[in-house]
Amino acid sequence: MSASRHRAQLIQHCAEAARAIRDECTAIRSAEEVEAVSLAGCGHALVELLSRQAQQISLCYRELESTTATANVVGPISREKRALVLKRLEDIASIAYAKFYAYLFKDLPVCWRQLYTDASILKFCFVLLRSSFLAAPGTELEDADGAAGRDAEDLDALVETLDLALILAGAAGESRGRRWIDKALELLRLVWLETAESNDSGSDAAILGGRPAKRVKLADTLADNVRGGIHHDETFSTEEPFTPPVKHPIKRVEALSMEAFQTHMDRPQDPKLGPEPLVIRNALKDWPALSTHPWNKPSYLLSQTFDGRRLVPVEIGRSYVDEDWGQKIIHFGEFLRTYIDPSLPPISLFPTSPHLNPNFLTDSDPNPISDTTAPSSSSPQVPKQTAYLAQHPLLTQLPALRNDILIPDYCYTSPPLHPTDPAADQPELEAPLLNTWFGPPGTITPLHTDPYHNILAQAVGRKYVRLYAPTQTARMAARGREGGVEMGNTSRVDVGVVEGWDEARGGGYDGVDEGEDGAGDEDMDMNMDDEEGKMSEQDIAAFREIPFVDCILEPGDALYIPIGWWHYVRGLSVSFSVSFWWN
C-alpha cells in the first residue's frame, strides 16, 4: 500500500471523527432528553464550544477532500482563527481535566473523560492539517510562522495529544475513544515511516534539532541509527547490583498442561490453605517478546514507540510507600535513557513540549519528587533516583507490544475462592487483567496482596519474589486508609529494610527503634501506632520468624501467585514483566 493511500486513510479517519463529534453535539443541543448521551453531562455551554471547533475542523477536511491539495491545508480558516481554535480545544481539555481532581477516578463521570478525549481527537485532527504528514514526498513546506517545516515537532505534538488522552482520560467514548486513537496512531506511524523512507534529503541537523532549509528526514530508523550509538543487536544490561539469597525455594516445574495446573489448584497439600505458589519454567516459550520481537533490545522497543516518542506514566522513587515517591508522564525514550540504560545516546529527538505537564497527581496525591536521597555505603548500590513503569496497561496503550505476548492458558482454568476471607472474592472477570512492570535494578513493589489469582510472567531480566501465606495475614501489619486511599492490601513492613538490604526511607513502619526493648510481640500488634513509625528489635525478630517462600524469576518463567498470598517483588536487573489477574 502506498504512502498516499495511508495518507488518504488518515485524512478520512480524521474527517469522520470531526463530523461525528459535530453531529453528536448538534443532537445534544437539539434534544429534549439527553441523559443517555455521554457528553450532555458536561453542560450545554461546553457542548456548544466543542461543537463550534468540530464544525471549523470539519470544514477544513471537507475542503481537503474536495480538492487535490496535499500540504498544510487549513481550508477557510485564517492564521488568527487557527490559533483560536487550538486555544479553545486546549481550554476544553483543561476544563475537563480539572474535573479529574474532584473525583476518585473510578467515580469520575464518563462525560468528562469523553470531553477530554474528544477535544484531544479534534486537536490531533487540526494539528495534522498543517503538518508535513499531509504533504506529498519531496514537497518543501513552510509552517504557519514562515519557518521551515519541522517534521519531528509535528510528530511530537500529534503523538503527545493522543497519548495524554489514553493515559489521563482512558480514551473514553463508545463511538470514538480508544479504538479511534489506536487506528489514528497506526496510520500516522505508517505515513511517518514511509515519509522517512521516501525522503532522501535527511541530515544530522534534523536529529540535532536544527532548521535546515528543506524538509528533513523525520528520524533514522533504529536499524540505521548505528551512528547514534544504538545498535540493533544490543540488549539491556544483565548486571545485578544486589541479589538477595533464596532461603525457602518455591517449587519449580516445567511448563504444565492446563489439566496439570488445574490439578495443582484442585488438590492442595493443605486444603485449608489452598493451592501454593508455583514457578513454571519455559512458560513463555511461544512469546515473540522473547524471540522475534525481543523486548530485551532497546532498538525494538524504540521502534514500536515512534522512536521513543510515546508517553508513559512512571513512578519515581524506590517504592510507592516511601515519602519521596511520586509520579510523572515522560517520553518512553527518556525513560530508557535516563532510568534504564544511561549508556544509550542522548534522546534529543523529542524536546519537552511546552504543552506537556510531566507531573500528574493520583488519588494518593504524592509528595514533591526529590532526587537527593542516596543509599548508605553499607547498602546495595542503587541509582540515586529510580523510575518504574509499574502496574500500567502498557499493552493496551501500545497494541503492537500486545501482539508480542500470549495470555497463558492457565488464566482460563477455574481457580478456587479465597482460602481465608470470602469477602475478598471479586466478581468474575470477563477476561484477564494485564499490567506491565518495567524498570531498572532496585525497583520494589512492597509487601502486598492482590484481589485475584495472578500469573507473573518474566520477559526480560530477573526478579526476586517473596510470598507469605494468607493464613499469616494477621501478622502482616496491614495499612489502613491513608490520605483518602484504602491501603489495607499493603503491609507496613519494608521487607528490604527488615532484611538489611535497604536503608529506611520513611513512609512505613520500616525502621528500627533502638530505644525499644521487648515492647513487641510475635503477632506484630505492638508499636504499630507510634508516631515515629518504628519497629522494635523484637518486632523485627518476630516478623523474621514468619514462614515464607521465595524465588528468583528468570526470563521465560511464570510465577503462579494464588489469591490471598502476600508478596514482595524486587527487580534485580533491568526487568520487564507482565502480570495476568484472573478468577
Q: Is residue 348 part of a domain?
A: no
Q: Is residue 44 domain-shared with residue 87, that is, in the same domain?
A: yes
Q: What is the pLDDT of residue 404?
A: 98
Q: What is the mean pLDDT of residues 503-514?
A: 56
- 511: enclosing H helix or E strand: strand 511-513
Is residue 538 very low, low, confident or very high in pLDDT (cuts 50, 70, 90)? confident
The boundaries of the domain holding residue 108 are 3-219
Which SS3 state, helix, strand or coil, does residue 453 take? Answer: strand
Contact 434, 396 (CB under 8 A): yes
Q: Which residue has the higher pLDDT, 16 or 322?
A: 16
What is the torsional sign of CA 253, 254, 255, 259? negative
pLDDT, residue 523, reads 46
How high does pLDDT run on average in the chain? 81
Q: What is the pLDDT of residue 73?
A: 53
Residue 425 forms part of a structural domain: no
Same domain? For 476 and 446 the reply is: no
Give the angle subtended at the CA of 356 by the CAs of 354 and 359, to the nearest 5°: 125
Among 65-69, 335-339, 564-568, the minimum mean pLDDT is found in: 65-69
Question: How far apart are alpha carbons 530 and 226 in whole angstroms?
Answer: 57
113 lies in some domain: yes
**pLDDT number for residue 508:** 52
453 & 476 share domain: no
Same domain, 41 and 166: yes
Does residue 393 share a domain with residue 264?
yes
Same domain, 251 and 106: no
Highest-scoring range by mean pLDDT, 34-43, 104-113, 441-450:
441-450
| 419 vs 4, residue with greater confidence | 419
- Considering the domain architecture, whether residues 276 and 374 belong to the same structural domain is answered as yes
On whether residue 235 sits in a domain, the answer given is no
Same domain for 152 and 166, yes or no, is yes
Whether residues 477 and 458 share a domain: the answer is no
In a domain, 241, yes or no: no
Whether the pLDDT of residue 36 is over 60: the answer is no
Helix 79-100 and helix 110-129: axis angle, to 10°?
160
Residues 141 and 267 in one domain: no
Q: 457 lies in a domain? A: yes
Task: Please indicate, yes or no, whether residues 195 and 260 belong to a single structural domain of this protein.
Answer: no
pLDDT of residue 174: 76
Q: Which CATH number characterizes residue 399's domain?
A: 2.60.120.650
What pLDDT is recorded for position 219?
A: 40
pLDDT value for 479: 87
List 560's β-bridge partners, or say none.
Answer: 278, 455
Q: How far is CA 243 from the centre of its chain?
A: 26
Residues 265 and 156 reside in one and the same domain:
no
What is the radius of gyration, based on Cα positions, of the chain? 26
CB atoms within 10 A of CB 4: 13
pLDDT at 15 over 70: yes
Q: What was the pLDDT predicted at 209?
A: 38
CA 336 – CA 353 distance, rounded (Å):
18
178-197 tens-digit pLDDT: 999 999 999 999 998 887 77
Could you give the C-alpha distances from 334 to 165, 305, 307, 346, 351, in angstroms and in order? 20, 12, 11, 8, 10
Q: Say how many domains are in the chain.
A: 3
- Is residue 467 over pLDDT 90? yes
| 76 has a pLDDT exceeding 70 | no
> What is the pLDDT confidence band of residue 312, given thresholds at 50, 70 and 90?
very high
* Chain centre to alpha carbon of residue 472: 32
Asked if residue 185 belongs to a domain, the reply is: yes
pLDDT at 322: 67
